[in-house]
C-alpha cells in the first residue's frame, strides 16, 4: 500500500486556522453534494479530498494559497453541474499523479480503476501546452480527442480545472497568462460550447477576453454598467407587461433578464461592424416554464402583446441544435425597441447551461432529451476519431476539427424525413459525407426539393436533399474548394492521396520499364539486392516510393534505370543525358482521361491522333503536349524529360480544341456556325467574336471532339458555310 493512507490525516503543522478553514470548506462541499448524492458516495469524495490534501502537503499556489484549495474549487464547479461522485473524486486527485509522483496503480488500488483512469486522462491533458507552434498544438489536440473518446468526463474535469485556473490567473507571469488565455479562447471555450455547456463557455470566453484585452474589457464593462442604469425603467416596464400577460392567460413562468457578455459584445462590434449602442439597444429576456406545451402557449401570449419581427423566429425545441440546446427564440418590436425572448422548460434551461454534464443529473430519470444529447456528443466524438484516422498529419486534423468547433447550424432533411444538422454554408457533398463516407465518395449528382441541383450549391434550412450515387464514382478534387465540414474535407483528401499514390506507382512503373527496355533489361530481372542498393543511394524508404517519385516527376526514369542496370560503380557518376535511350523506343500508351497525374496542356490542346510527347512536371506527374508545341523544354536535359506517347485505339472521351473562323459579316452567321458544329456532333464549350469591322469578323470557338477525324468533320461542316472564308486550329 502507498504511503498516503485512507485515514483522516493528523496535522503536525502549527497553522491550525488554515486547516480548520480547509476542513470547513470540504464540509460545505459535502452539504451541497447531499442534495443529489447519497452519504456513501459523499464519503468517497471526502476520502479523495483528504488523500489529495496529504499528497499536496507543503505545496503552494502562485497566489500564496495552499495547493489543495485548487482541486477543492474544481470539485465545487463540478458539484454545481451535479456531476457523479467519480468525476468529483477525479477533480480532487487530478494533479496528484503529475505533481506528487504517486503512480496511477496506487490510485486504482485506493479509489478504483474508473477514478484512476479519469485522473490519468486529466493528467495527460494537463501536460498539454498549446504552444504557439501550431504543430505542437495540433499533436496535443489529437491526445485530447483520444482522452475524450475514452471517457467524456475527462474533458468535463479538465474544463472545470481550466475555469478555476482562469478565475485565478492574476498572479501568473504575463507571458504565461497570455498563452493560457489564448488557448482557452481557441480550444477550451469552443469545446465547452460544442458540449452544450453554455455557462462555462461564456465564463471562459469573458475571462479569456479580459486577460487578453484588459483595457477593452474594462471599457466595455463600464459602458454596459452605465447603460444598464439608464435602461432600468424600460427593462422593468417590459418585464412587468410580460408578467401581466402570463398571469392573464394563467401560464406559469419566471421571467429573467439576460445579460450580454463582454466577449460576445466585442465580437459583434469587431466582426459584424455594429456599434456598441446598436448591440445594447436590444432588450433580452428568458421565460422559463414547466412543460413544452406551455412554451408554445407563452409564445402565443407574447406575440399577442408585441408584434414579432419577420424572419427572427427559431424553434430549437422541434429542431434542437447539434449540442443538444433547445429553446424557442423570437424577436418582438415593442415600446420603440427590439425585445429578444427565449422560452424554454426548466430541464431545457439546465441542459442549455450545463450541456453534456446535465446527462449525469438526469441519468437515473431516463430522460429522453438527455439521451438524445448524450448520443449527439457520442456522434461528435466518434466523428473526431474518424477524422483523426484519415488525417495524414496533426496539422490537417486540427484544421478539420476547428471547422466543426464553430458551427452555425442549418437543418436539412433526408428523403425519409430524417433531420441532418450541418454547419452554415454546407453543400450537398457535405450532406453526403455526413450520411456515410461511402455515399460521399460515390456521389455524382443531387436533388434539392426533388429538383436536380449542383453539388456545390449551399444548402438552406428546411430543404430535402437526395444524393445520387454511381458505382465506381470517385471524389472530384474540385470539391475541396467548396466543402465546409471537416469530415467531408478529410475524407476527400484521404481518397485523393490514396488515388494519387496508386496512379503515381502505375505511371512510374510504366516509365521505368520503358527506360530499362532502352538498356536491354527487364524490371523482373533486377535483383532485390540491387533494388535495395538503389533505394539506399536515393535515400528513400522503399522501392515503391522510388517508383512513385518517378510517376510524380520528382525523379528521372532514365537515371533510376541506369542505376539499376549498371551496379554500384555508376551510382555517383554524372549523368550523360546525350546517351539516354531514344525517347521513341517503347512509347507509352495513353487513353485520354488518365486521372490525377496525366493532364493535357492548355497551350496546344492535343487531341487523339496528334503526335504527342509527355513532359514530367516535378511533383505533379506528366503534362501531354503536341510534339510541335513551342513550349516544349529544349536542350539535352529538356529532351531527357520527354516521353514519347501513342494514343490507344478505342478512345471515346471528348477533348477541347480551339478554332479560329474568319467570315463575312451577315445576319445570323454565328447561329449558322453553331448549327454546323452541332450537325457534326461537336459540342461548343465557348464562342466569342474577337475582332470585326464593317465587312469581316473573326470568331473564336472552343469545341469538344473525340479525335482528329471528328475534328476534320467539324471543320469541313463549318468551311462549307458560304460566309466562311477561312478556318484553322489555334495552338498557342
For residue 445, what are the β-bridge partners? Answer: 468
Distance CA 251, CA 245 (A): 9
Three-state helix/strand/coil letters over 652-666: CCCEEEEEEEEEECC
User: Residue 701 belongs to what H/E stretch?
Assistant: strand 696-705
Residues paired with residue 704 on neighbouring β-strands, in sequence order: 656, 683
Sheet holding 598-600, edge to edge: 588-590, 642-647, 612-617, 621-626, 598-600
Please state, in angstroms and rounded to a whole number, the distance separating the CA atoms of residues 326 and 324: 6
Joined together, the cell numbers standing for residue 297 give 402557449
Alpha-carbon distance of 597 to 473, in angstroms, equals: 18
> By C-alpha distance, which of 283, 237, 256, 247 is closest to 344?
256
Residues contacting residue 208 through CB under 8 Å, at least 6 positions apart = 166, 181, 182, 184, 185, 189, 263
How far, in Å, CA of 700 to CA of 689, rounded? 6
Distance CA 552, CA 500 (A): 9
Phi, psi angles (nearest 5°) of residue 180: -65, -40
Radius of gyration of the chain measured on its C-alpha atoms: 35
Report how far residue 560's alpha carbon sits from residue 531's, in angstroms, rounded to the nearest whole number. 10
60 vs 185: CA distance, rounded Å: 27
Extract the C-alpha cell encoding 214: 484588459
For the chain, the helix, strand and coil percentages under 3-state DSSP, each to the nearest 5: 55, 15, 30
Cβ pair 517, 586 in contact under 8 A: yes
User: What DSSP string describes 566-616?
Assistant: H-GGGTTSPP-GGGSPPTTTTPEEE-S---SSEEE-TTT---TTS-EEEEE
Q: Which of 98, 13, 104, 29 is nearest to 69 (CA)?
A: 29
Spatial contact of 515 and 521, defined as CB atoms under 8 Å apart? no
For the chain, the first-to-last Cα distance in angstroms comes to: 84
Give yes or no: 99 in active site.
Answer: yes
**Separation of alpha carbons 664 and 533, rounded Å:** 68
Q: Which residues contact 539 (CB under 8 A, 6 or more apart)?
A: none
Residue 257 · residue 238 · CB < 8 Å: no
**Of the residues 32, 99, 399, 545, which is catalytic?**
99
Three-class DSSP category at 413: strand
Q: Which of 98, 315, 399, 544 is catalytic?
A: 98
- Residues contacting residue 189 through CB under 8 Å, at least 6 positions apart: 201, 204, 205, 208
Cβ atoms of 330 and 302 within 8 Å: the answer is yes
Which residues have a Cβ under 8 Å from the Cβ of 27 and sit 6 or more positions away? none
Residues assigned a catalytic role: 98-99
Amino acid at each position: 500500500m502507498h504511503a498516503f493512507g485512507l485515514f483522516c490525516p493528523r496535522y503536525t503543522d502549527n497553522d491550525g486556522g488554515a486547516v480548520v478553514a480547509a476542513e470547513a470548506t470540504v464540509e460545505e462541499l459535502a452539504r451541497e453534494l447531499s442534495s443529489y448524492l447519497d452519504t456513501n458516495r459523499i464519503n468517497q469524495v471526502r476520502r479523495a479530498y483528504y488523500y489529495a490534501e496529504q499528497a499536496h502537503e507543503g505545496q503552494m499556489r502562485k497566489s500564496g494559497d495552499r495547493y489543495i484549495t485548487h482541486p477543492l474549487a474544481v470539485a465545487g464547479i463540478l458539484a454545481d453541474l451535479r456531476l457523479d461522485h467519480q468525476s468529483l473524486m477525479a477533480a480532487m486527485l487530478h494533479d496528484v499523479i503529475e505533481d506528487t509522483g504517486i503512480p496511477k496503480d496506487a490510485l486504482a488500488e485506493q479509489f478504483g480503476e474508473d477514478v484512476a483512469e479519469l485522473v490519468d486522462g486529466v493528467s495527460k491533458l494537463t501536460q498539454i501546452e498549446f504552444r504557439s507552434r501550431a504543430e505542437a498544438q495540433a499533436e496535443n489536440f489529437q491526445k485530447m480527442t483520444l482522452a475524450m473518446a475514452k471517457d467524456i468526463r475527462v474533458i468535463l474535469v479538465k474544463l472545470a480545472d481550466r475555469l478555476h485556473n482562469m478565475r485565478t490567473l492574476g498572479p501568473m507571469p504575463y507571458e504565461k497568462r497570455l498563452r493560457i488565455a489564448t488557448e482557452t479562447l481557441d480550444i477550451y471555450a469552443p469545446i465547452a460550447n460544442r458540449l452544450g455547456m453554455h455557462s462555462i463557455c461564456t465564463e471562459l470566453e469573458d475571462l479569456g477576453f479580459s486577460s487578453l484585452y484588459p483595457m477593452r474589457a474594462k471599457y466595455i464593462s463600464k459602458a454596459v454598467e452605465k447603460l444598464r442604469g439608464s435602461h432600468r425603467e424600460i427593462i422593468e416596464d417590459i418585464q412587468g407587461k410580460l408578467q401581466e400577460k402570463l398571469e392573464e392567460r394563467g401560464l406559469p413562468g419566471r421571467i429573467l433578464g439576460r445579460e450580454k457578455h463582454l466577449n460576445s459584445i466585442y465580437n459583434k462590434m469587431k466582426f459584424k461592424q455594429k456599434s456598441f449602442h446598436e448591440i445594447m439597444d436590444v432588450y433580452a429576456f428568458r421565460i422559463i416554464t414547466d412543460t413544452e406545451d406551455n412554451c408554445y402557449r407563452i409564445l402565443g401570449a407574447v406575440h399577442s402583446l408585441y408584434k414579432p419581427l419577420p424572419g427572427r423566429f427559431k424553434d430549437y425545441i422541434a429542431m434542437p441544435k447539434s449540442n443538444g440546446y433547445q429553446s424557442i427564440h423570437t424577436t418582438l418590436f415593442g415600446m420603440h425597441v427590439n425585445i429578444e425572448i427565449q422560452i424554454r422548460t426548466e430541464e431545457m434551461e439546465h441542459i442549455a447551461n450545463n450541456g453534456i454534464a446535465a446527462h449525469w443529473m438526469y441519468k437515473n430519470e431516463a430522460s429522453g432529451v438527455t439521451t438524445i444529447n448524450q448520443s449527439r456528443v457520442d456522434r461528435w466524438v466518434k466523428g473526431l476519431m474518424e477524422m483523426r484516422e484519415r488525417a495524414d498529419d496533426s496539422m490537417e486534423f486540427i484544421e478539420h476539427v476547428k471547422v466543426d468547433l464553430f458551427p452555425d447550424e442549418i437543418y436539412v432533411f433526408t428523403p425519409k424525413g430524417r433531420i441532418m444538422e450541418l454547419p452554415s454554408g454546407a453543400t450537398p457533398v457535405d450532406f453526403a459525407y455526413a450520411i456515410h463516407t461511402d455515399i460521399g465518395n460515390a456521389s455524382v449528382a443531387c436533388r434539392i426539393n426533388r429538383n436536380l441541383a449542383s453539388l456545390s450549391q449551399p444548402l438552406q434550412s428546411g430543404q430535402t436533399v437526395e444524393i445520387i450515387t454511381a458505382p465506381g464514382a470517385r471524389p472530384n478534387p474540385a470539391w475541396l474548394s467548396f466543402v465546409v465540414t471537416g469530415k467531408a474535407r478529410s475524407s476527400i483528401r484521404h481518397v485523393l492521396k490514396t488515388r494519387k499514390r496508386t496512379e503515381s506507382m502505375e505511371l512510374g512503373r510504366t516509365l521505368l520499364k520503358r527506360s530499362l527496355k532502352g538498356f536491354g533489361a527487364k524490371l523482373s530481372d533486377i535483383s532485390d539486392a540491387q533494388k535495395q542498393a538503389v533505394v539506399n543511394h536515393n535515400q528513400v524508404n522503399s522501392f515503391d516510393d522510388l517508383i512513385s517519385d518517378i510517376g510524380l516527376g520528382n525523379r528521372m526514369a532514365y537515371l533510376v534505370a541506369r542505376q539499376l542496370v549498371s551496379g554500384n560503380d555508376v551510382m555517383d557518376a554524372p549523368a550523360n543525358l546525350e546517351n539516354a535511350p531514344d525517347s521513341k523506343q517503347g512509347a507509352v500508351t495513353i487513353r485520354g482521361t488518365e486521372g490525377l497525374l496525366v493532364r493535357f496542356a492548355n497551350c496546344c490542346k492535343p487531341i487523339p491522333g496528334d503526335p504527342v510527347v509527355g513532359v514530367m512536371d516535378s511533383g505533379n506527374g506528366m503534362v501531354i503536349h503536341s510534339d510541335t508545341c513551342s513550349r516544349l523544354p529544349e536542350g539535352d536535359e529538356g529532351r531527357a524529360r520527354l516521353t514519347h506517347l501513342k494514343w490507344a485505339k478505342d478512345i471515346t472521351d471528348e477533348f477541347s480544341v480551339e478554332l479560329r473562323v474568319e467570315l463575312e459579316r451577315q445576319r445570323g452567321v454565328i447561329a449558322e456556325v453553331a448549327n454546323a458544329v452541332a450537325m457534326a456532333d461537336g459540342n461548343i464549350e465557348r464562342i466569342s467574336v474577337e475582332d470585326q469591322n464593317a465587312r469581316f469578323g473573326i470568331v473564336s470557338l472552343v469545341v469538344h471532339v473525340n479525335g482528329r477525324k471528328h475534328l476534320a468533320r467539324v471543320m469541313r461542316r463549318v468551311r462549307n458555310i458560304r460566309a466562311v472564308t477561312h478556318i484553322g486550329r489555334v495552338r498557342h
